[in-house]
Amino acid sequence: MKESKLCKIVKKTERVPGLFDMELYAPEAAREAVPGQFVHIMCPSFENIFLRRPISICDAKDDCLRIVFEVRGKGTYSLSRCQVGDEVDVLAPLGRGFEISRERYRRPLIVGGGIGIFPLYALAKQYQGSAEVFFGFRDQSRVVMEEEFRAVSKELTVMTDDGSNGNKGFATAPLEERLKAGEGDIIYACGPMPMLRIVKRLAEEYKVKAQVSLEQRMGCGIGACLTCSCETVFPGTWKYQRVCLNGPVFWADEVTLHD
Ligand SMILES: Cc1cc2nc3c(=O)[nH]c(=O)nc-3n(C[C@H](O)[C@H](O)[C@H](O)COP(=O)(O)OP(=O)(O)OC[C@H]3O[C@@H](n4cnc5c(N)ncnc54)[C@H](O)[C@@H]3O)c2cc1C
Ligand code: FES
């Protein structure tokens, strides 16, 4: 079983209010990590409650794991209060990452929404400029990492719900345009459930392979508690799988993605 490690925070930036970019010194995990995997990190609460929370690995380089997270509740708030030099207890890397092949997939399409864009950075980097990327954000105030993604992608299209940055609408609209034009031999997606459902439908309609990364609430993070179960298709029937262990990345035709 994977053991947790104390990792020093070596960098911390607040990108936009409530959204933190952190680098953790974790040489072994950084060497082992593949895009799509996550860390289960102990968030030292101000109430002396210790909570582990799953956060995607945004990048792994120079012996460090980079994570970018939004403050949502108690766990992420207490993590955001940690400072450079503090040590945090980290289990990493966990889960199944994306299937990546520059030989098999020459025209990858990547789609992300909100906090779902972060695991897609290491993925886009692996494709060395051949991936087209489509992002959706609520509004201009939540748009982050635009230049970083542009630098590692063939093209980046940013959409916002209110049109305050880029075009107005959802990221799946320009994605569908590319599929209609016959582009894309694989789609990778991470974001809110309605976005993942559209990606699953488009993949079926245009007969393109797709992988989706699920953000399920988690308990143990290592397959022991079943908190993170999701329904998956099994020949002729269905079965539950654990997002922390069998995912978070699944083939789109593998998961049912119910409302
Ligand atoms: C595999 C995985 C990767 C993730 N990667 C990132 C990341 O890169 N950056 C990032 O900002 N967040 C990420 N998340 C979401 C993050 O784990 C939650 O926001 C966090 O656990 C909330 O904890 P909290 O104690 O701050 O809030 P809580 O008090 O536990 O909850 C606050 C609010 O957040 C919602 N919430 C809690 N857990 C989740 C979850 N897993 N998914 C969606 N909503 C949730 C709750 O329903 C509630 O509304 C990821 C989640 C998973 C499962
Ligand atoms: S979080 Fe415990 S089994 Fe997945």
Among residues 42, 68, 94, which one ends one of the domains?
A: 94
**Residue 171 in contact with ligand 2 by CB distance below 6 A:** no
pTM passes above 0.85? yes
Distance in Å, CA 217 to ligand 2 centroid = 9
Among residues 49, 65, 94, which one ends one of the domains?
A: 94
For residue 46, the model assigns a pLDDT of 64
In this structure, the answer to whether residues 59 and 159 fall within a common structural domain is: no
Distance in Å, CA 229 to ligand 2 centroid = 7
Contacts of 201 (CB under 8 A, 6+ apart): none
Q: Which domain holds residue 87?
A: 5-94
Contacts of 41 (CB under 8 A, 6+ apart): 52, 53, 54, 55, 67, 79, 88, 89, 90, 91, 92
Structure tokens at 11: 């960098």
CA distance 175 to 171: 7
Per-residue pLDDT of the chain (259 residues; tens, 9 = 90+): 788 999 999 999 999 999 999 999 999 999 999 999 999 999 887 666 677 999 999 999 999 999 999 999 989 999 999 999 999 999 999 999 999 999 999 999 999 999 999 999 999 999 999 999 999 999 988 899 999 999 999 999 999 988 887 789 999 999 999 999 999 999 999 999 999 999 999 999 999 999 999 998 999 999 999 999 998 887 677 889 999 999 999 999 999 887 6
| CA 31 to chain CA centroid, nearest Å | 19
Choose the residue to mutate in 244, 246, 250 for probing ligand 2, maximizing ligand atoms within 8 Å of C-beta: 244
In this structure, the answer to whether residues 75 and 127 fall within a common structural domain is: no
Q: Give DSSP secondary structure letters for 75-94.
A: HHHHHHT--TT-EEEEEEEE
In this structure, the answer to whether residues 113 and 90 fall within a common structural domain is: no
Which residues on adjacent β-strands are paired with residue 25? 8, 64
**Residue 223 in contact with ligand 2 by CB distance below 6 A:** yes
- Tally of structural domains, the chain: 2
In this structure, the answer to whether residues 83 and 152 fall within a common structural domain is: no
In this structure, the answer to whether residues 144 and 196 fall within a common structural domain is: yes
For residue 49, the model assigns a pLDDT of 67
Choose the residue to mutate in 34, 46, 55 for probing ligand 1, maximizing ligand atoms within 8 Å of C-beta: 55
